Structure 1
Amino acid sequence: MEDPKRVEEGFGHGQISAEEKVEREDVKERSEMAAEQHDETKGVEKPILVKEKSKRIATLDAFRGLTIVLMILVDDAGGVYERIDHSPWNGCTLADFVMPFFLFIVGVAIALALKRVPSRRYAVRKIIIRTLKMLFWGILLQGGYSHAPDELVYGVDMKQIRWCGILQRIALVYLVVALIEALTIKLRPTTIDPGHFSIFSAYRWQWLGGFIAFLIYVITTYALYVPDWSFTVHDDHKSQTFTVKCGMRGHLGPACNAVGYVDREVWGINHIYTQPVWIRLKACTLSSPEAGDLRPDAPNWCRAPFEPEGLLSSISSILSGVIGIHYGHVLIHFKGHAERLKQWVSMGFGLIIIALLLHFTDAIPINKQLYSISYVCFTAGAAGIVFSAFYILIDVWGKRTPFLLFEWIGMNAMLVFVLGAQGILAGFVNGWWYKNPDNNLVNWIQSHVFIDVWNSEKFGMLLYVIFAEIVFWGVLSGILHKFRIYWKL
């Protein structure tokens, strides 16, 4: 099994270090915990539990790397292949798997990182500090301060800063799930009784936390009254105000759902995302599912802001982390490959079946923007199946070489996310231009090395994303891994 400290340094709560580096850090960590325990017991020093060195699970790195690769692919190629971009409303596309896959692997990592907690106060302090770091980076990268890679400026009007984003959602899920795990360490058994469902009862507090999140989301979604609301669009030095008629409860459409209402009330309408993907709906454009000019008869809400990583939907996303931590618990307590896979695969397919029943009966549609319960089940089930497949190929059959690119990226996921997925490196390169800002190295490579050669913008951009971004970051991550260089929070 993988060294718990190595897993703890995964995306969303620090990056993975090399095993030798972790061993050195572990000595320091144990000494810090020893000092803290000495303070807690007023001079009576307790023995420290020494972490046993165990076999590393390469699947964790590879799955995390796969998720980063998917993010880069759908973000940068989704502009020309909009069918892989986020679904405009109901349904699920390739891009819609990215966020729940992140939360799933964060949950798995938490279980391994916190399987032993010698000092709960020390663990809680580390969890809070890591959460604050993620919130800071999330606001910096997606709050509007950074305009990379397209605009060579930085700064944001605090009246319009966006408070939500990818890292902010991961931070909330990590905080809740990790705190439950750390604070209930003494309430769970060290061994699991025989039986398929014994592991659920052993970790009932984690499932209780998930159930509470489920209740908050469902009750608010269906019971909260959504009144009429207005928004203002600023375009070409003029402003226009629109009103959306609602006055209803339990609506799951774009205009009057409780998810959007909560964000407008909590954050303020000026602090939420201004380019929601629902603008590609048939009701908004004749080019659907691709982007295009608005229809003359498009409803007002087509122009409205909507926060895809908002508060209520983030509460629902806690369930993705809870399901992920369950897979981590299985990894800890079941030592045989067959036992682990039986637990993982059965749960994965079970969640997918539940999701499809809810979606196709129109009870609860699969919807990423609302982070509906059916969406949680469908994407978590898919994550479980993909994780199981990776485990068979990489850790059971030993087919590690074909997945090294994913594994290297997974080891430095935070670095690739910031510099690659968020375009910081591309923005830096774009800062060196000749005669005009559009004449820069990134645009030159896109046009002359890929698009012009293949005489196709779509195919050329796809090849650019694969080779100039994904392969580039994979090779760079491999080089950094060779020199044991990792960026962690």
Structure 2
Amino acid sequence: MENPIEKRLEEGLGTGSQLVVEEDNNKRSTSHQGKKDEVGIHPSNENEENNVVISDQPEELKEEQPQKKQKTKRVATLDAFRGLTIVLMILVDDAGGAYSRIDHSPWNGCTLADFVMPFFLFIVGVAIALALKKILKVNSAIRKIILRTLKLLFWGIILQGGYSHAPDVLSYGVDMKQIRWCGILQRIALVYFVVAIIETLTTKLRPTVLKPGSFSIFTAYKWQWFGGFVAFVIYMVTTFTLYVPDWSFVVHHEHGSEKYTVKCGMRGHFGPACNAVGYVDRQVWGINHLYSQPVWSRLKACTFSSPDSGPFRKDAPSWCHGPFEPEGLLSTISAILSGTIGIHYGHVLIHFKEHAERLKHWVSMALVLLIVAVILHFTDAIPINKQLYSFSYVCFTAGAAGIVFSGFYILIDVWGLRTPFLFLEWIGMNAMLVFVMAAQGIFAAFINGWYYKNPDNNLVNWIQQHVFNDVWKSERVGTLLYVIFAEITFWSVVAGILHKLGIYWKL
């Protein structure tokens, strides 16, 4: 017989996950007993044996009724939130070049694109709380966690390490001297591993009923918060105390190569050139294995085209030409906090059953995080910075994730407006598939492979030029409409069809 925890873990976390909330038929996991409340859970069309039941009947009624086959229940808000994150990624990746205001901030600040990564990590945390709600065999759960982490690392290196040149270049392969070890899936994998391992190893310390008090949910899961605090301390101590020396790099171009030297010799710097985040990655991974086109190249110090990309100024500082890893090691340690906050929201979903209770806790915490972030940023204590994954950035984006998640909860689960968000649910149920095929351009590369006479003569370019750009007489508007209709709408339909067929890509 299959292990229940293995089945839940097989349904996945993070990208492409299928999430269910399980309640024991013989024991309530909340202090609010005897209330028939199925808040936040919706029936799924998937196979019933892959899911579990929510039972809110009093114990005496349960004993009188015969055991029935478990029914499917699903967290619709979670799927919709994950789908929204994927949609945002497609939008900012493919339309950000035309609209730089939605692209990643060149350094300090927060744009639409800067919400994508922390939203992913937030939803990974929520998913972990639900999938690992009950663990019967700890060793089995740990094996599953390690296996899923390795899968995410593998796909991350394949898709963003340089091996895949999709969608425009019809070739593959990477020089191992230049391979990029870090990326989106790699960061998700490491955050997932740390947060899920802590949740698993503390399974015997979890309460089934919360003690009275507003902060009982925090004390009940103190080890999860302790893990986040350790990550915070490591990041902050390293950021403010690590000495960053001068560093050099070589840029290769068609006319030869040129060596640059960046003068540093300082500590606690939050600028592009001499921060501890970049120094740690240069020492751990090697400068040739970092991202070679960092967003700081769009700063005013580097180009007159700022905030758009453009040729470098003649007086541009040397660091403008250098590499920087936006998903590096030290910043990923800070990103563990995003997953920790997410898993807390999942714990609230498990323990509190009333709409008002959940929303009160979620919104109040989100507002506190936003206030802390704003104070830190505008006092110049710690600027909001996605590239450094600063503490103010963690607070600001986690607070925003909490507000958006609560808003979805109100619309979908309180007011019952599920239909307008079905396309987000469909994408959220098959997030890994849409991420790989759309956000990473694998499907577009496949279509581009069928060209006429030269690689630029392909169906994707023809549609974008003749159906969108020429009709609207604007490349910017045409690009935006192409992304909305030929990518987001197209993959919404595909995800919906796959959902009806019960087909999902799970790691």
Deviation at 1:24, TM superposition (A): 3.5
Q: 2: distance between equivalents of 1:370 and 1:481?
A: 38
What's 2:338 paired with?
320
Amino acid in structure 2 at the alignment position of 1:12: G
What's 1:228 paired with?
246
Instruction: Tell me if the contact between 1:232 and 1:239 (Cα under 8 Å) persists in the aligned partners.
Output: yes
What's 1:12 paired with?
14
Deviation at 1:287, TM superposition (A): 1.2
Deviation at 1:13, TM superposition (A): 6.0
Q: Counterparts in 2 of 1:90-169, with a 5 A limit?
A: 90-169=108-187
Q: For each residue in 1:307-345, what CA deviation from the matched residue of structure 2 results, as whole angstroms up to 9, or x when unmatched? A: 000000000000000000000000000010100000000
Amino acid in structure 1 at the alignment position of 2:447: V
Q: Are 1:445 and 2:447 matched, yes or no? A: no
Q: Percent of counterpart pairs with the same letter?
A: 77
What's 2:37 paired with?
none
Deviation at 1:14, TM superposition (A): 4.8
Amino acid in structure 1 at the alignment position of 2:83: G
Amino acid in structure 1 at the alignment position of 2:462: W
Q: Kindly tell me: are residues 317 and 52 of structure 1, through their superposed partners in 2, closer, same or farther at Cα, counting changes over 3 Å?
A: farther
Q: 1: distance between equivalents of 2:504 and 2:146?
A: 21
Q: 1: distance between equivalents of 2:346 and 2:14?
A: 16
2:98 is matched with which residue: 66, 80, 84? 80
Instruction: Tell me if the contact between 2:51 and 2:73 (Cα under 8 Å) persists in the aligned partners.
Output: no
What's 1:56 paired with?
74
Q: Are 1:481 and 2:483 matched, yes or no? A: no
Q: For each residue in 1:248-301, what CA deviation from the matched residue of structure 2 results, as whole angstroms up to 9, or x when unmatched? A: 111110000000000000000000100000011011011111111111100000
Deviation at 1:194, TM superposition (A): 2.2
Equivalent position SS for 1:225: coil
What's 1:204 paired with?
222
1:174 is matched with which residue: 160, 177, 192? 192
Q: Counterparts in 2 of 1:256-275, with a 5 A limit?
A: 256-275=274-293
Q: For each residue in 1:75-130, what CA deviation from the matched residue of structure 2 results, as whole angstroms up to 9, or x when unmatched? A: 00001101100000000000000000000000000000001000101110100000
Task: State the TM-score, normalizing by the size of structure 1.
Answer: 0.92
What's 1:402 paired with?
420
2:445 is matched with which residue: 417, 427, 430? 427
Which of the two has greater helix per residue?
1
Amino acid in structure 2 at the alignment position of 1:442: V
Q: Counterparts in 2 of 1:236-315, with a 5 A limit?
A: 236-315=254-333
Q: 1: distance between equivalents of 2:48 and 2:493?
A: 26
Q: 2: distance between equivalents of 1:372 and 1:8?
A: 33
Gaps of 5+ in 1: 28-49
Task: State the TM-score, normalizing by the size of structure 2.
Answer: 0.89
What's 1:45 paired with?
none
Instruction: Tell me if the contact between 2:142 and 2:200 (Cα under 8 Å) persists in the aligned partners.
Output: yes
Q: Kindly tell me: are residues 241 and 51 of structure 1, through their superposed partners in 2, closer, same or farther at Cα, counting changes over 3 Å?
A: farther
Q: 2: distance between equivalents of 1:53 and 1:24?
A: 8
Q: For each residue in 1:41-63, what CA deviation from the matched residue of structure 2 results, as whole angstroms up to 9, or x when unmatched? A: xxxxxxxxx99656322000000
Q: 2: distance between equivalents of 1:124 and 1:237?
A: 52
What's 1:412 paired with?
430
Deviation at 1:188, TM superposition (A): 1.7
Amino acid in structure 1 at the alignment position of 2:291: Y
Deviation at 1:196, TM superposition (A): 1.6
Instruction: Tell me if the contact between 1:8 and 1:14 (Cα under 8 Å) persists in the aligned partners.
Output: no
Q: 2: distance between equivalents of 1:358 and 1:333?
A: 32
Q: 2: distance between equivalents of 1:451 and 1:7?
A: 45
Gaps of 5+ in 2: 20-42, 53-67
Q: 1: distance between equivalents of 2:470 and 2:368?
A: 47
Q: Kindly tell me: are residues 6 and 19 of structure 1, through their superposed partners in 2, closer, same or farther at Cα, counting changes over 3 Å?
A: farther
Task: Name which of structure 1's ranges 68-77 and 195-204 shifts more when overlaid on structure 2.
Answer: 195-204
What's 2:28 paired with?
none
Amino acid in structure 2 at the alignment position of 1:207: W
Instruction: Tell me if the contact between 1:15 and 1:411 (Cα under 8 Å) persists in the aligned partners.
Output: yes
1:356 is matched with which residue: 364, 368, 374? 374
Q: 2: distance between equivalents of 1:451 and 1:20?
A: 39
Amino acid in structure 2 at the alignment position of 1:112: L
What's 1:468 paired with?
486
Instruction: Tell me if the contact between 1:11 and 1:413 (Cα under 8 Å) persists in the aligned partners.
Output: no
Amino acid in structure 2 at the alignment position of 1:68: I
Instruction: Tell me if the contact between 1:316 and 1:371 (Cα under 8 Å) persists in the aligned partners.
Output: yes
Q: For each residue in 1:363-415, what CA deviation from the matched residue of structure 2 results, as whole angstroms up to 9, or x when unmatched? A: 00000000000000000000000000000000111100110111100010000
Instruction: Tell me if the contact between 1:8 and 1:113 (Cα under 8 Å) persists in the aligned partners.
Output: no
Deviation at 1:23, TM superposition (A): 4.2
Instruction: Tell me if the contact between 1:11 and 1:64 (Cα under 8 Å) persists in the aligned partners.
Output: no
